[in-house]
Amino acid sequence: MSSISLSLGDATQPPKEKDRFNYNPEIFFDEAPDPEHLAYARVTSNDLEQYTKPPTRIKMLVRDFIEDSLYNPHYGYFPQQATIFTPAGDPIDFRSMRDSVEFQNEVARRYSTYGTDKEGPGRQIWHTPTELFKPHYGQAIAQCLVSEYLLKYFPYEDLVIYEIGAGNGTLAMDILDFVRSEYPEVYERTHYNIVEISGRLAKAQQELLVPRHSCVNVTHKSIFHWDRREPAPCFFLAMEVIDNFAHDMIRYDYRTLEPYQALITVDAKGDHGIYYTRVTDPLIASFLHLRRRLGHPPPLPSILKSPSVRSIYNHLPFTPNLSTPEYIPTRLLSLLRTLRAHFPRHRLLLSDFSFLPDAIPGVNAPVVQARVRGTAVACSTLFVRPGLFDIFFPTHFGRLRDMYEHMLAQPHVSDDHLPVAPSPLASSASPLSAGAGFFSSYQPQNRRTPVDGIASSSGLPVGERKSNVFTHAEFMETYADLESTRLRSGENPLVDYYKNVKFLF
């Protein structure tokens, strides 16, 4: 773990004379905390992909530090360290187990097959509900997709699925096995596309899936570099993925309530520092603008909105001059932009953590942890050696839904080279929006504005149903075969576990 070397905002440094009553001296703004740091090269995670080990004498935004730590192809956590827990042998026979204690013992036994670790961070094994509850979890996802497909698109459109971060390919396998077995007429029209950032995992997915399901296509690419348009209606899966999306860090100046972006420095010794400048990054600025537009307040005490109260507050002794660090999901905003631009007729199915214990200090802060001797050990700081530690965030699903629906509601930019394919159900070439209010000016609140040229299965311009947020239990109770995972005691780990997980669909 790297040591921490904070710039002028570090409380361990002696205060300036004019700040003698304040244990937090004025944080560094706009000019380098050290003349040497000013000369450091500003880099992005894309720039760092060429390095085989973490470089020094550089500076970067927090999201670039996180992306490099997790995804650098030479030393990143996922390409080099992470191992997805895949239970050895046959899937767990839930119905033969007495109770949850026996189930947990069985999971522990299967974990033990990976062996014991030596000194220091060991094998970074992490599990997902896909692997833990296979094939039943994947079958529930498949039932959800097929139900929606049969209701809206069959037989006029193919079933087109995109999945990002497909791991070992287990979810794709369980979905396709289920569709082929239970809905053969749908399977014949299925196209399954995986977008995978890890070359190692992309190869494993190709070797596992393609021999059994020729409808699979694996693309080794980051979704943030996606440049192809999918004109057909499709389902887009992001299961246990966005928790590892990089965030940026901002803090607010309590004097002016102006946000400041954080930059991380790496000195010649490899030690990390941090300083703050006014927001100049376009993606951070876009997120903050969108948040204001949606009415999502920043994490500031409401009493500080009054300039007179702020003036009094800032003259009190022992009061910080910057707000608590806040981690904002800028890469999640990038994903929503990609969906809107390249998948105009998609339906998003997303699942991830809604809250996390053992997070580092801050608002919406991540958990930073590594597995040591078989036990997950959480860190108290983000400043750790790149590649050895997992960094994952909770998601505020209510705010995510607001952002997602707002993005989809924006006017579509026309592109003559990449048209949206008209539905065979459309009976007229005239824009649907022109007749949307012919019978009534009422637009249901749970429906999006109709897309021109795209009719519903009824031929009426009613628009797509807006997304909703579900708990893990609510989703599984709707789509899963619960009898297949019920223990003899009546407990059902498929429903009872993952209470800190939610779905957006």
Average pLDDT of adjacent 10-residue blocks, the chain of 505 residues: 35 38 37 68 93 93 96 87 68 92 86 58 66 94 97 94 94 98 98 93 94 97 94 96 96 91 92 91 97 93 76 70 93 96 95 95 94 78 89 97 92 46 40 49 67 52 80 97 96 95 97
Q: Do 32 and 168 fall within a single domain?
A: no
Whether residue 54 lies inside any domain: the answer is no
Whether residue 225 lies inside any domain: the answer is yes
* Strands of the sheet with 346-353, listed across from one edge: 216-220, 190-196, 159-164, 234-239, 346-353, 501-504, 469-471
Instruction: Note the pLDDT of residue 301.
Output: 81
Q: Do 101 and 239 fall within a single domain?
A: yes
By C-alpha distance, which of 395, 393, 391 is closest to 76? 391
Number of Cβ atoms within 10 Å of the Cβ of 245:
25
Q: Do 303 and 388 fall within a single domain?
A: no
Whether residue 50 lies inside any domain: the answer is no
Q: Do 407 and 448 fall within a single domain?
A: no
Whether residue 58 lies inside any domain: the answer is no
Whether residue 49 lies inside any domain: the answer is no
Q: Do 21 and 127 fall within a single domain?
A: no
The domain total for the chain is 3
Q: How far apart are CA 172 and CA 176, in angstroms?
A: 6
Q: Do 152 and 168 fall within a single domain?
A: yes
Q: Do 176 and 126 fall within a single domain?
A: yes
Q: Do 193 and 259 fall within a single domain?
A: no
180-204 in b/e burial notation, b at 16+ Cβ within 10 A? beebeebbebbebbbbbbbeebbeb
Whether residue 99 lies inside any domain: the answer is yes
Q: Are 504 and 402 in contact (CB under 8 A)?
A: no
By C-alpha distance, which of 323, 324, 352, 290 is closest to 130? 352
Q: Do 473 and 488 fall within a single domain?
A: yes
Whether residue 59 lies inside any domain: the answer is no
Instruction: Note the pLDDT of residue 32.
Output: 46
Q: Do 321 and 333 fall within a single domain?
A: no
Find the domain containing 90 and state its range.
76-247+329-421+468-505
Whether residue 118 lies inside any domain: the answer is yes
Q: Do 479 and 400 fall within a single domain?
A: yes
Q: Do 287 and 275 fall within a single domain?
A: yes
CATH classification of the domain holding 492? 3.40.50.150
Of 292, 326, 360, the position where a domain reaches its end is 326
